[in-house]
Chain A
Amino acid sequence: MKRFLGFIKKEFLHIFRDFRTMIILFGIPTAQILIFGFVVSTDIKDARVAFLDLSKDEVTQKISDKICSSGFFRRADDLKNYNEIDMAMKKGIVKAVIVFGDNFGHDLISQGKATMSIIADGSEPNTATLITNYVTAIVTDFNMELAGKSAIGNILVQPEVRMFYNPELKGHFMFVPGVITLILILICALMTSITITREKEFGTMEVLLVSPLKPVHIIVGKVLPYFILSFIDVIMILVLSWFVFDLPIKGSLILLLAETMLYILMSLSLGILISTVSKTMQQAIFMSFLGLMLPTILLSGFIFPIENMPEAYDWVSAILPPRYFIVIIKNIMIKGTGFMYVWKETLILMIMTTLFIGLSVRNFKVRLQ
């Protein structure tokens, strides 16, 4: 046991003395959370919209004011006719134009309904969708007010838009689980495969294997520090998202941490497996990066929804462990569901972990033959 502790201490020294490792461990997670949270945020704030009000009555005035006072939009100069819409969009002055037709207020009162158009700049589909959703929501709200005051009942017929689980459409909520998933696979799989192949490449692995340390001690001793540090990382990310973005964890924190440990274990065993098949650090980096990082970012549903992928990609995605963890962590953090809703994904991760450990042990034995 004492032998083992000395060995673990040495691994911590390696980590703490290597500037790059420390950056990957603590710098990248912090930066990613902050960047995704603030910069790549999918919220809209101060989006410029213009109005083309051909009716210019009391009702259109009220609706425009309500939209502009919501805090999401900034009012650009009013347009005078339809021809100007195209120009304003092309110049990039506005992200959307809201059009009230002739006699809007009159129609509303006499016929009980009137139509307004929201024309959004489709070249930024994400923003466009958000803007139309926001405007629709504001108008719906206006309808409710109107309905409350008059006896006419619901006047404007609008599609109801309701956002489940993320009513304010806060973008960074979605990114936090993604960042945790990505960071853990980066630290656990990439870093452990590098640290083990480094010993191989430098010849120290031979010396360790000849020493009385058992192979299992060597491997556990090498990955245990990464297990501890990546767990600290997760807690750091959660605390950071809580303080900076007021992100609550809706479900059970204990369940979340337990699932996270399982995922860390899975990533570590994947890292060990990579190190058993690669001879040099370069090979290990190449395999972890191309084989894990890119597919995780692109195919696991972190950024691009799996539902929109062609079927073939969906199959590829099915063999990627992060895909299942993302479902688990989103369920627990954002929807607040319990274990009953994620047991299938949990089971898949467990099977994968067992498989990776089994394969690593087999490869290791062949090497020692």
Chain B
Amino acid sequence: MKEAVITVRNLVKKFGSFTANDNLNFEVYEGEIFGFLGANGAGKTTALRILSGLSSPTSGEVIVAGYNAKKDPEKIKKNIGYMCQKFSLYEDLTIRENIMLYGGIYGMPKSLIKKRTEDLLEKLNFRKYGDRMISDLPLGLKQKLAFSVAVFHEPKIVFLDEPTGGVDPITRRQFWEMIYETADSGITVFVTTHYMDEAEYCDRISIMSEGRIVALDTPANLKKKYNVETVEEVFIKIARPPIPPEGGLKTAHF
């Protein structure tokens, strides 16, 4: 049995009278690629913020990398990596400076940062770009680099919030190869995405709808259960977007 690095029991998060997360229960295992799906507004972001120590649960137990999210969010922060949907490196710093900054923030010694930076540049095959400004790089490269920086301090878990938005299919493919490599090295990958083909690459996926987890299994099992060909069809079947109130559609702007 694999060990759980994230354990969520009866997680509830309320904002006033609105319940964003309604009694979530799940576990994520070490070295796993866990897909976290759901329509916009289903409560994914809220859950992600709680798991990454940014926000505190209203009730329930959340344990990430061995620490309680309510009591020790600071300790959680030291043991996770994070990459958000917006590009997260500094455009006016060079690749090396960005890595040095994030390595430093996570308390890595300078010599280790330097050594790993050279390894990383070698691996990504852009050693000669090391002193280029980030703003000079194409989006695909930036995205790959942002991911490498997110796992640079070798966290236990890395959270990826829609990491491949706006990236071309080839780069997305390469990006997923990096994710696989990372998972193989023992880092757990927790990824949210809107691309259903990407969901197929995950070891297990959970689908959220209206604040609840309505499905959680391997892609293959889910497809079998709902008797469909693709995860996309599973998603459409069960993850309905919240129904707008009566008359709401008339005033909504699309």
In the bound complex, do residue A14 and residue B88 qualify as a contact, i.e. CB atoms below 8 Å apart?
no
Q: Give the bracket for the number of chain A residues in contact with chain B.
A: 20 to 34
B85 partner residues in chain A, CB cutoff 8 A = 203
In the bound complex, what is the Cα–Cα distance between A7 and B77 (angstroms)?
A: 17
Given A13-B93, A368-B55, also A213-B86 (CB < 8 A): no
Q: Determine how close the nearest CB of chain A comes to the CB of B44; give it in whole angstroms.
A: 14
B78 surroundings in chain A (CB, below 8 A)? 212
B55 and A210 contacting across the interface, CB-CB below 8 Å: no
Q: Determine whether the beta carbon of B97 is less than 8 Å from that of A210.
A: no
A3, B97: Cβ atoms closer than 8 Å: no
Find chain A residues with CB under 8 A from B88 CB.
202-204, 206-207
Stretch from B23-31, B99-107, B179-187, B198-206 forming part of the interface with A: B99-107
Q: Is the CB of A206 within 8 A of B90?
A: no
CB within 8 Å of B: which A62-88 residues: none
The verdict on A18 contacting chain B, using a C-beta distance below 8 Å, is yes
**Quick one: CB contact mask for A3-22 with B, threshold 8 Å, 1 for yes?**
10111011001100110000
How close is A204's CB to chain B, nearest CB, in angstroms?
5
Q: Are A368 and B54 in contact (CB under 8 A)?
A: yes
Residues of A213-238 whose CB lies within 8 A of B? 213-214
Indicate whether B74 reaches chain A with its CB closer than 8 angstroms.
Answer: yes
Across the interface, do A211 and B106 meet the contact criterion of CB distance under 8 Å? Answer: yes
Query: Is A209 on the interface with B (CB-CB < 8 A)?
Result: yes
- Render B52-87 as a binary contact track against A, CB cut-off 8 A, 1 for contact: 111110000000000000000010011010111111
Check B105–A213 contact: CB distance below 8 A.
yes
Looking at the complex, which one of B53, B55, B86, B100 makes contact with A202 (CB distance below 8 Å)?
B86
Q: Are A211 and B105 in contact (CB under 8 A)?
A: yes
Q: Are A209 and B54 in contact (CB under 8 A)?
A: yes
What mask results when residues 139 to 152 of chain B are scored 1 for a CB within 8 Å of chain A, else 0?
Answer: 00000000000000
- Number of chain B residues whose Cβ lies closer than 8 Å to a Cβ of chain A: 31
Which B residues from 85 to 137 make CB contacts under 8 A with A?
Answer: 85-93, 97, 100-102, 104-107
A207 to B91, CA, bound (A): 14
Interface flag for A369 (CB, 8 Å): yes
Tell me the bound Cα distance from A368 to B15 in angstroms.
12
Q: Does A162 contact B (CB under 8 A)?
A: no
B residues in contact with A202, CB < 8 Å: 86-88, 91
* Interface contact B105-A210, CB-CB below 8 Å: no
Which residue of B82, B89, B101 contacts A210 across the interface (Cβ within 8 Å)? B82
- A206-B86, A207-B82, A209-B54 are known contacts. Are A3 and B92 too (CB-CB below 8 A)? no
A2-B104 contact in complex given A209-B54, A212-B77, C-beta closer than 8 Å: yes
Q: Nearest-CB distance from B146 to chain A (Å)?
A: 9
A213–B87 CA distance with the chains assembled, in angstroms? 19
| A108-137 interface with B by 8 A CB criterion | none
Q: Are B92's CB and A17's CB within 8 A?
A: yes
Give the distance in Å from the alpha carbon of A5 to the alpha carbon of B85 in the complex.
27
Partner of A14, one of B77, B80, B92, B107: B92
B82 surroundings in chain A (CB, below 8 A): 206-207, 210-211
Q: How far is the CA of A13 from the CA of B83 in the complex (A)?
A: 23
Which A residues are in CB contact (< 8 Å) with B102?
A: 211
Residue of B nearest to A208 (CB): B105
Q: In the complex, which of the residues A5, A18, A210 contacts B53, with contact meaning CB atoms closer than 8 Å?
A: A210
Nearest residue, chain A, Cβ from B83 = A207
**Contact A206 B84, beta carbon cutoff 8 Å:** yes
Smallest Cβ distance from B252 to chain A, in angstroms? 22
A369 to B84, CA, bound (A): 19
Note all chain B residues with C-beta closer than 8 A to A5: 104
Q: Are A2 and B97 in contact (CB under 8 A)?
A: no
Docked Cα-Cα span, A346 to B144, in Å, equals 52
Residues of A within 8 A of B106 (CB): 3, 211-212
Is B101 touching A10 in the complex (CB atoms < 8 A)? yes
- Name the contact of A3 in the complex, choosing from B15, B53, B105 (C-beta under 8 A): B105
A212 to B67 alpha-carbon distance, docked (Å): 14
Query: CA A368 – CA B52 in complex, angstroms?
Result: 12
**A6 to B87, Cβ gap below 8 A?**
no
- Name the residue on A nearest B103 (C-beta): A6
Name A123-171 residues within 8 Å CB distance of B.
none
Please measure, in the bound complex, the distance between the C-alpha atom of A287 and the C-alpha atom of B107, giving whole angstroms. 37
Q: Could you tell me the distance in whole angstroms from the C-beta of B75 to the nearest C-beta in chain A?
A: 9
User: Assuming the A-B contacts A212-B77, A212-B106, are A10 and B97 also in contact, with contact meaning beta carbons closer than 8 angstroms in the complex?
Assistant: yes
CA distance A191 to B89 in the complex (A): 21
Docked-complex contact A210 and B107, CB < 8 angstroms: no
Contacts of A210 in B (CB 8 A): 52-54, 77, 80, 82, 159
Q: Report chain B residues within 8 Å CB of A368.
A: 54-55
Closest B-chain residue to A207, C-beta based? Answer: B88
CB distance from A8 to the nearest CB of B (A): 11
A14 contacts across to B, CB distance below 8 A: 90, 92-93
CB distance from A1 to the nearest CB of B (A): 10
Sample 8 A-B pairs with CB under 8 A, ordered by A number. Answer: A3-B107, A10-B97, A204-B90, A206-B82, A207-B83, A211-B82, A212-B74, A369-B15
Given contacts A7-B104, A203-B88, A211-B82, 13 further A-B contacts (CB under 8 A): A3-B105, A3-B106, A7-B101, A7-B105, A10-B101, A13-B93, A203-B84, A206-B86, A206-B88, A208-B105, A211-B77, A211-B102, A214-B74
Q: Enumerate the 3 nearest inter-chain pairs by beta-carbon distance, A residue then B residue, closest first.
A: A203-B86, A6-B104, A210-B82
